[in-house]
């Protein structure tokens, strides 16, 4: 869970700074998830406002798999997190979106390797 929350904190912090990357993204994400979060940041036109409300839960845990993995599902409330150019509803309208993250352990470190974003109001 720490890897997912760390990745999301880096994503939100970067969006609030108007940055297209954040040094902690590579610490908590790699592969497709790292690319998607960077694309999200590069796709907005200005400094974001507000923050999302996260409610992550471990949907699947398989520590015997090689590599060990955890699937995190989070119905992210994006109502107050407004990023220009990022697909969401208008400010003030309730907006939720399912985030599904696959977190794996490699060389003693847990990182989000895959991240899927559901439809707006999909959860």
Residue 41: other Cβ atoms inside 10 A: 22
CA dist 115 and 97 (Å) reads 13
| Of 119, 44, 26, residue with least CA distance to 84 | 44
At 10-40, the pLDDT tens digits run 999 999 999 999 999 999 999 999 999 999 9
pLDDT at 79 exceeding the cut of 80: yes
State residue 85 phi and psi, 5-degree precision.
85, -10
**Which residue stretches of the chain are H helix?**
2-17, 25-28, 31-42
Residue 7 CA, distance from chain mean position:
6
87 — pLDDT class (breaks 50, 70, 90): low
At 3-13, the pLDDT tens digits run 999 999 999 99
85 — pLDDT class (breaks 50, 70, 90): low
Domains and CATH numbers, the chain: 2-120 (3.10.450)
């Amino acid at each position: 869970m720490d890897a997912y929350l760390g990745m999301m904190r880096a994503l939100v912090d970067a969006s609030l700074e108007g940055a297209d990357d954040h040094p902690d993204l590579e610490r908590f994400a790699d592969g497709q998830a790292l690319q998607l979060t960077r694309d999200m940041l590069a796709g907005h036109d200005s400094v974001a406002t507000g923050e999302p409300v996260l409610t992550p839960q471990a949907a699947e845990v398989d520590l015997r798999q090689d590599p060990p993995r955890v699937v995190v599902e989070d119905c992210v409330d994006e109502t107050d997190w407004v990023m220009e150019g990022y697909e969401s509803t208008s400010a003030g309208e309730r907006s939720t979106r399912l985030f599904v993250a696959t977190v794996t352990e490699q060389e003693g470190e847990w990182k989000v390797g895959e991240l899927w974003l559901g439809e707006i109001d999909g959860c």
